[in-house]
Amino acid sequence: MITVSVCMIVKNEEHCLERCLKSLVPIADEIIVVDTGSDDGTKDIAKKYTDKIYDFAWTGSFSDARNYSFSLAGCDYIYCADADEELDEENIKKFKELKDTLLPEIEIVQMYYCNQLENNTIYNFDKELRPKLYKRVRSFIWNEPIHEQVLLDPVIYDGDIEIIHRPASVHAGRDLARFEKMISDTEIISKRLLDIYIKELYIAGNESNYLAASEYFEKLCDSDELDEDELVCALTIALKASIIAKDINRQFKYALRGAATKGCSELCCELGNVFYEQGEYSEAAMWYYNAAFETEPLINIRSKKEIPLNAIINCYELMGDKDRADEFRAYL
């Protein structure tokens, strides 16, 4: 049987931490809680479940905090948990079975992260596999009979354990502020982070977030750094920012460039918004139709159904065509 260190980083989690820790006690051989500056009852709750509580001065990087928590682990594997997660009885049982049967060559175990769409996160799947259990000490092995090389790719196992995710609030505001600081500090935003930035901005951003991001995305659109999907997404953000800024020239520029691409549901929705703002409801309905029936979403899965269909219904109602509105209402 393998042993498991549960490693957590927390800050002001008194509203959910006990529920999380109570569900982890049955599968943990040790629980390590790293606090990054709580001023509520978080530590008092943690003390009920572990004596391994450490302070970490916040550096602005979640990776720094995670790395510190991992450095304190002493078991065979490390389970990385957040305070707003929990395991129910069925999945506690599955986790115990995993501890009994996990092959030693497995270095990462992926588990299903659930309840994503319910909480308006940036993810477009209600449950998805994520790496959650990591082998603490990795062995490097030479392979191939000739032209030998060290095997660098981790051995990953996709498990069937489901983790319930119950965030009390969406963290987009915090994340978007960090992205804006990266832009102002001219930090490089990796392709992985760019994808997350686009999703958080489009799904949960406010007008000030768009205006702060506008120049960055305009430069991206004019660069040759993006593949086709990334360009379509960047054009969508630039177009939406221009709509918020009521800049007709930029709207025209990004609308034309967007229409010349393969398109996506989100871009069609924004083109619909351009015409809707001008009172051109028939033209707007056509673009919303394209979003719902002719293209696929790249940023927000709701741009394929709820958002454009409700917009189409609204357009036809404004045009006094109740029959057409009801026709599209049937798709909801």
CATH number assigned to the domain comprising residue 239 = 1.25.40.10
pLDDT digits (tens, 9 = 90+) for 91-119: 999 999 999 999 999 999 999 988 755 55
Estimate the crossing angle of helix 248-259 against helix 265-277, to 10 degrees.
140
CA distance 151 to 318: 63
- Whether residue 308 is predicted with pLDDT greater than 80 in this model: the reply is yes
How large is the C-alpha radius of gyration of the chain?
A: 24
Specify whether 178 is located in the same domain as 294. Answer: yes
Domain closes at, from 134, 165, 196: 165
Same domain, 203 and 147: no
Domain boundary among 126, 150, 165: 165
Residue 150 has pLDDT above 90, yes or no: no
Give pLDDT tens digits for 282-299: 999 999 999 999 999 999
Is 202 found in the same domain as 140?
Answer: no
Q: Where are the beta strands (DSSP E) in 88-155?
A: 108-114, 127-135, 142-143, 149-150
pTM summary value: 0.77
Note whether 279 and 216 are same-domain residues. Answer: yes
Which has more confidence, 174 or 87? 87
Q: What pLDDT is stored for residue 126 in this prediction?
A: 65
CA distance 203 to 210: 11
pLDDT score of 171:
65
Q: What angle do CA 171, 177, 181 make, to 5 degrees?
A: 145
One domain, residues 317 and 292: yes
DSSP state of 138: P
* Same domain for 84 and 144: yes
102 and 177, same domain (yes or no): no
Alpha carbons 100 and 170: distance in angstroms, whole number = 36
**150, 165, 180: which is the final residue of a domain?**
165
**Residues 201 and 136 reside in one and the same domain:** no
Number of domains the chain contains: 2
Q: Which helix (H) or strand (E) holds 257?
A: helix 248-259
Torsion angle in degrees (nearest 10) through CA of 79, 82, 85, 90 = 10
Summarised one tens digit per residue, pLDDT across range 231-240 is 999 999 999 9
Res. 7: pLDDT tops 80 = yes
* Whether residues 186 and 159 fall in one domain: no
User: Hey, CA dihedral for 259, 261, 264, 266, is it positive or negative?
Assistant: negative
* Residues whose CB falls within 8 Å of the CB of residue 291, separated by 6 or more in sequence, listed in order: 265, 266, 268, 269, 272, 303, 304, 307, 308
3-state helix, strand, coil in the chain (%, to 5): 50, 15, 35
The parent domain of residue 156 ranges over 4-165
Are the beta carbons of 110 and 159 closer than 8 angstroms?
Answer: yes
Q: Are residues 258 and 230 in the same domain?
A: yes
Task: Read off the pLDDT of residues 158-176 as tens digits, 9 standing for 90 and up.
Answer: 999 999 988 766 566 788 9
Domain identity same for 200 and 288: yes
